[in-house]
Chain A
């Protein structure tokens, strides 16, 4: 592992070692990007895609937050409002949150972190990006053509029989994008099983890998169920086969079961990779081994498994039996345990460490606070009696935004900042970055904390006309959203700026451990000059917590 790999004199002239060649400057043609099988380039393609969708979904949010400034309808009419929140939900969930961390950071880092040259199936990886974009194009077309108004949940029979909007096209888009998610999961599972470098045992894997492995399991097991559910809705809508419509003898609750069987685990598809990023950030900026490595690793798997057993907590008021409700309630409480283990262990890691408050860590600390609030309010919702009161109110909206935006987006931004020097070879302006991180935190809380209060006071979600008494809190929320919107634009600007004007990044700007920091920034096309042989544990920082007693 020499710091500056030099061409060995023994290398034959036919195989020159290009020290300065990297995956970015290997070729400049459009074709070399659109037909690339390099996981790092595909990660960049995904980065462009998810960023586009993030700002599109954000634009919808800006519009309805503007509408919600006043209790009356003044900006949009109710049908447009329905389309706006539907679009926001569909784009943010299926086209941003689900792919964001796995397909961008995961794609880039999974092979490098385990010491491989690429994912197991590079062409499949490229195909999944194309599927993602084709699904996205369908959704964009729906947006332009007139929208869809079912909510991202597509509840039947409204979606299968009554809605006159572009349900089918949206369904096709999500169906196709689902396969991109499945293929990514498949690729990760096979890669982690079969492609690890010599010496990279399971318990030497970075926790980022563990959480991506757990995420991949959910993608593999959950997403096909979403696919068949969408197909059944399409069969009902298109061919008139009665599955969900009670008029045709079907059962709308069956749709909810099938839908949430995917869509609750999907929450963990969104947050588990964020937890993986979180572990990396906390370790790197406290220069410390993650406290209780194995517990954190197993907690990822526990979340993946338990995540499949809690879907019924979305249906406490849907006519599900009381017994089923109790079981789902208890299981939902249980899943708080592995989540709490992670939060405590990150905190303990910071507690014993030498902490540097660089931008990625600011995001990570924000994550810990916001995820904790999001998680604890999840317990309110898992309690049946409380859920009846707050079901379908802004309390739920605030809860899942604390998890998905406060958790996933914070970690995503933290991860983008942390690995930006590795991905691009450039350093970003630290002052601006810290400022935006704080601004995101402030804007986020101002946007969503009032929504807890609104929900608890009884304001239902998905209405654009509300009681005048709710206005103050709604104005606070909209004000927060505008701050948050600006705070998201900042990184976009200075990161783009850094591509041209940023200082060149060394191989390891943070002094972090992990295989990705042993290779140049940006890495060469095959990641490593020579395949690394791993003889150390994960997060082996000098003077850090002693390793757990090895078995």
Chain B
């Protein structure tokens, strides 16, 4: 996957005008890519706070977390994992096409990525609705269907589930919109100078959001399934 990144100048559509404050295209390219990586570092720290909260409560209430995890639908979680992993593939193909100057093709792959992202979000909101109907959404003082001795801890688990996947979903929505901003001009062949760079940077973001899910999925859906199934 790193070949397009290593040869940014190969792309025929990319003989871009360098912005006024950069000396040359290479500097601009490096700065932009580094900027996105630094931003992703801030994202790691942002999600890190959530993961810390999760770790604290999981170690405080291990059994309630394992039990509450059973109420999540592992099938839909798995489907969503496949959807997102596939979207990372199409994203990578889109970046490659953009670097090769295949504007239309890049747009197709970006569109496909957006579609997969939307599918993920659809499944996610279906799951949310399902939890709401089951009475397992501990939000806004809604009645909580489970009343066992560890109800408080289960509420925390489901609260964290909504909080963590919610923040993740918000990132997905931003990602889909972001890709749309590049897919349309790519389709119209109006990507402009530096278009491949923009798509590559959007791709970095997309892969990161995908990666967060790869961690969220086992933490939330797959706690100790073997012991209970």
Residues of chain A with a CB closer than 8 A to B50's CB:
228, 232
B3 neighbours in A (Cβ, 8 Å): none
- B139:A241 contact, CB within 8 angstroms: yes
Inter-chain contact A240/B46, CB cutoff 8 Å: no
Establish whether residues A232 and B163, one from each chain, have CB atoms under 8 Å apart when the complex forms. yes
Contact check, B48 vs A242: say whether CB atoms are below 8 A apart: no
- Per-residue interface assignment for chain A, residues 242 to 255, with 1 indicating a CB less than 8 Å from any chain B CB and 0 otherwise: 11000011110010
Q: Residue on B with the closest CB to A122?
A: B21
Taking the closest CB of chain B, its distance from the CB of A305, in whole angstroms, is 15
Query: Which of B28-36, B80-88, B112-120, B124-132 forms part of the interface with chain A?
Result: B28-36
Q: Does B20 contact A (CB under 8 A)?
A: yes
- Measured CB to CB, the nearest residue on chain B to A182 is B42
A526 vs B50: C-alpha distance in the bound complex, in angstroms?
Answer: 42
A257 to B55 CA separation, bound complex (whole angstroms): 13
Q: Interface digits, A45-75 against B, CB 8 Å rule (1 contact, 0 not)?
A: 0000000000000000000000000000000
Please tell me which stretch of A185-193, A340-348, A392-400 contacts chain B, meaning at least 4 of its Cβ atoms lie within 8 angstroms of it: A185-193
Does B146 interact with chain A (Cβ within 8 Å)? no
- Are B23 and A531 in contact (CB-based, < 8 A)? yes
Closest to A118 in B: B21
Instruction: State the main secondary structure of chain B at its contact with A.
Output: helix
Complex: chain A residue closest to B34, CB-CB: A190
- Evaluate contact between A239 and B139: CB separation under 8 angstroms: yes
Other-chain residue from B22, B41, B156 in contact with A242 (beta carbon distance below 8 A): B156
Q: Among the listed stretches A91-99, A216-224, A329-337, A539-547, which one makes contact with chain B, having 4 or more residues with CB under 8 Å of it?
A: A216-224
- The contact string, 1 if C-beta is below 8 Å from chain B, for chain A 278-319, is 000000000000000000000000000000000000000000
Question: Is A391's beta carbon under 8 Å from chain B?
Answer: no
Q: Are A241 and B31 in contact (CB under 8 A)?
A: no
Q: B141, A228: Cβ atoms under 8 Å?
A: no
Contact A186 B38 (CB under 8 A): yes
B60: A residues at CB distance < 8 A: 251
Q: Check: A225 CB closer than 8 A to any chain B CB.
A: yes
Nearest CB in chain B to that of A179: its residue: B42
Pairwise interchain contact B42-A224, C-beta atoms closer than 8 A: yes
Q: Give me 11 other A-B pairs in contact (C-beta within 8 A), A235-B159, A242-B155 excluded.
A: A221-B42, A223-B42, A224-B46, A225-B48, A228-B48, A232-B50, A241-B162, A243-B53, A243-B163, A250-B57, A251-B56
Chain B positions near chain A (C-beta within 8 angstroms): 20-23, 27, 30-31, 34-35, 38-39, 41-43, 45-50, 52-53, 56-57, 60-61, 138-141, 152-153, 155-156, 159-160, 162-163, 167
